[in-house]
């Protein structure tokens, strides 16, 4: 388990509600602003962001105006303002604690990924049901047994769980976590979870994504249609 500073429990004030398409576009804009800032670019034009998002410039300006970001004519939007404003809007200014369950190859990679910090996510502890993995070290984390999971959730008021476990056990695990107070699950198992309405789930099914990618390779004529339908959904 990783040591935490006192008071870092991930709680914060309510954030404005954003529709899924707007949230998706603003998240991409935030990511691009981070990259631009690291490269020393002081502004991003609406034309550039529109091209990145495959939408009209008017929609970019509308999204930005909705969260209080106003661009300058012939200059664009301030990179720094995008980062600061969207960090607040997206709820990234405070640390969100998460637990990770499943310390196989994928779990190892997720623990080692340094980019979570930019989005305010911190893995508090890592767990595995395989006693052969318990006690092993991944970076600064020591893999804990599942028997300690409940106490860590309660002690650190964890509300987010990252699951990198086999499909056959993920639903039962998710049910158990929801009963323990978890309200957001990032699921990397190749299975669609069924959870109560108050619980948010993000399914990252790598097998489905791979199948769709291979299908697009085998059917090149459909690639343009898929891009058009994707663009249409992002404009809603």
If 0-12 CB within 10 Å is exposed, 13-18 middle and 19+ buried, where does residue 26 land?
A: buried
Q: Please give the backbone phi and psi of residue 36, each rounded to the nearest 5 degrees, phi first.
A: -65, -40
pLDDT category at 234 given cuts 50, 70, 90 is very low
pTM over 0.85: no
Tokens 């209080």 found at:
68
Would you state the pLDDT for residue 119? 87
CA 12 – CA 88 distance, rounded (Å)? 11
How confident is the model over 180-218, as pLDDT tens digits?
999 999 999 999 999 999 999 999 977 777 787 887 887
Q: Report residue 192: phi and psi, to 5°.
A: -90, 120
Where residue 233 falls among pLDDT bands split at 50, 70, 90?
Answer: very low
Q: What are the structural domains of the chain?
A: 20-89 (1.10.10.10), 96-204 (3.40.50.720)
Which position has the higher pLDDT, 217 or 170?
170
Which phi and psi (to 5°) does residue 74 adopt?
A: 65, 5
Phi, psi values for residue 88, rounded to 5°:
-70, -45
pLDDT of residue 13: 43
Token couple for 164: 């990198």
Asked if pLDDT for residue 102 goes beyond 70, the answer is: yes
List the beta bridge partners of residue 162: 100, 186
Report pLDDT digits (tens) over 219-228. Answer: 776 655 555 4
Provide φ and ψ at 32, rounded to 5°.
Answer: -65, -35
10 Å Cβ neighbour count for 187?
24
Query: d(Cα 74, Cα 129) in Å, to the nearest integer?
Result: 57
């Amino acid at each position: 388990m990783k040591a935490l500073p006192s008071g870092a429990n991930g709680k914060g004030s309510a954030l404005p509600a954003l529709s899924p398409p707007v949230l998706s576009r603003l998240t991409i804009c935030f990511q691009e602003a981070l990259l631009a800032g690291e490269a020393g670019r002081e502004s991003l034009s609406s034309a550039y962001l529109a091209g990145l998002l495959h939408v009209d410039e008017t929609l970019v300006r509308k999204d930005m105006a909705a969260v209080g970001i106003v661009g300058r004519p012939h200059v664009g939007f301030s990179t720094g303002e995008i980062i600061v404003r969207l960090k607040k809007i997206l709820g990234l200014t405070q640390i969100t604690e998460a637990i990770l369950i499943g310390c196989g190859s994928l779990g190892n990679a997720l623990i080692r990924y340094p980019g979570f910090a930019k989005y305010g996510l911190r893995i508090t502890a890592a767990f595995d049901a395989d006693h052969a993995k318990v006690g092993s070290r991944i970076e600064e984390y020591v893999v804990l047994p599942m028997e300690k999971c409940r106490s860590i959730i309660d002690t650190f008021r964890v509300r987010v769980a990252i699951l990198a476990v086999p499909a056959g056990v993920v639903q039962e695990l998710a049910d158990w976590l929801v009963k323990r107070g978890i309200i957001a699950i990032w699921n990397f198992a190749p299975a669609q979870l069924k959870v109560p309405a108050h619980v948010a789930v993000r399914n990252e099914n790598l097998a489905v994504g791979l199948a769709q990618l291979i299908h697009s390779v085998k059917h090149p004529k459909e690639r343009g249609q898929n891009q058009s339908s994707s663009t249409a959904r992002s404009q809603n």
